[in-house]
Homo-oligomer: A and B are copies of this chain.
Amino acid sequence: MAKRLLGKEVTAALNERIKADVAALEEKGVKPTLCIIRVGENESDISYERGATKRCETLGVACEKILLPADVSQDELLAAIDKVNKDDKVHGVLLFRPLPKHLDQSVIENALDPAKDVDCMTDGSMSGVFTGKNVGFPPCTPQACMEILDHYGIDCTGKKAVVVGRSLVVGKPAAMMLIKKNATVTICHTRTVDMPSVVREADIVIVAAGRAGVIDDTYLSAGQTVIDVGINVNAEGKLCGDVDFEKAEPVVDAITPVPGGVGSVTTSVLVGHVVEAAKRKFA
C-alpha cells in the first residue's frame, strides 16, 4: 500500500511557521490582513471564502471582505481595487475569478498592486513564476503541491516529473516550479498521444486534469509519488480526485488522498502569502 501524503500534516507544519511570523509582526505592531473581494454569490467562491476566513482566524490574520453584486460595473470594481491598493492596513487581496462576463477580467486583474497579489492574479506575478524571479506570489494550488513534496522530503533533483494538465492556474506553474527544483519535466494534456506510457515513466506525477478518476493504474507504476490536484464530485455525490485512488494506491509509492490532500494545504499557503506580504513591507 502506498504511503498517504496527508494535507493535514503539511498544513500543521506550515501553520506553525505562519504563527511564528504573525507573532513577530505583532511585536512590530503589524496585523497581517487579507481582503477578500467577491463579486456575486458563486457557491464554490463562498465555500472557499469560508475556509479562508476560518484559517485566517486560527492563524491570527485579519480578514476583511468587500462583497459586490454580480452586476457590479467595471468602474465600481476598479474603484474597490484602487481602495485596497491604497489601504496600508491591507497586505494581501483575494479576488474570486472567473468574473462575470461583462467585466474585462485582464484589466481588472492587472489593476491590483503586485505587492498585494497573494493569488497570482497579475501579469507581474505570473511572470515571476515563469522567470523564477521573486516577483509577487505563485498561485496557491501548485505551491501547495510543492509544500507537500518538501514536507515529505521528496527530492526532485534529476527526477522525471510529469504534469498532467496545462492550465495557467496549476499545470504550467507546477511545471515551472518543478524545473526550479531541478526535475526533468514533461507536460501532458488532452492532445498527448498515449498518455499512459508517458505518465508511467515518471518518478513524480502531478495530476491537474480536471476530470474525476481519469488517471488509473494503467497510467501508473511502482515507485511513483502521485500528487492529485483534482477536486470533483463523483456519481455517488462524494468528493474525489482526478486519480482513481482505489486502483492507484496498490501500485504507487506515495499518494495524496482527495479530500485531505492538496486542497487542504491551499488555504494555509494563501494565508502564508498574506503574512509574507506583510513581512516584505516591513523588511
Question: Which residues of A line the B interface, CB within 8 A?
Answer: 106, 123-124, 126-133, 135, 157-160, 166, 168, 172, 175-176, 179, 182, 184-189, 191-193, 198
Contacts and interface: CB of A to CB of B under 8 A. Distances in A.
A131 B105 CA distance: 14
Contacts of A157: 191
Contact of A186 (B158, B182, B186, B193): B186
Contact of A130 (B106, B126, B193): B126
A86 B127 CA distance: 25
Contacts of A126: 127, 130-131
Nearest to A132: B168
Nearest to A166: B179
A131 B121 CA distance: 11
Contacts of A160: 198
A159 to B, nearest CB: 8
A187 B188 contact: no
A7 B132 CA distance: 32
B133 A130 contact: no
What's the number of copies of this chain in the assembled complex? 2
A191 B157 CA distance: 7
- Which residue among A130, A157, A179 has the maximum number of chain B CB atoms within 10 Å of its CB? A130
A67 to B, nearest CB: 28
A172 B128 CA distance: 13
21 contacts: A123-B124, A123-B128, A123-B131, A126-B127, A126-B130, A127-B130, A129-B130, A130-B172, A130-B176, A131-B168, A132-B168, A159-B193, A160-B198, A172-B179, A184-B186, A184-B187, A184-B188, A184-B189, A184-B191, A184-B193, A186-B186
A184 B179 contact: no
Contacts of A185: 186-187
Contacts of A191: 157-158, 182, 184
Contacts of A187: 175, 179, 184-186
B106 A123 contact: no
Contacts of A184: 186-189, 191-193, 198
A131 B129 CA distance: 11
A198 to B, nearest CB: 6
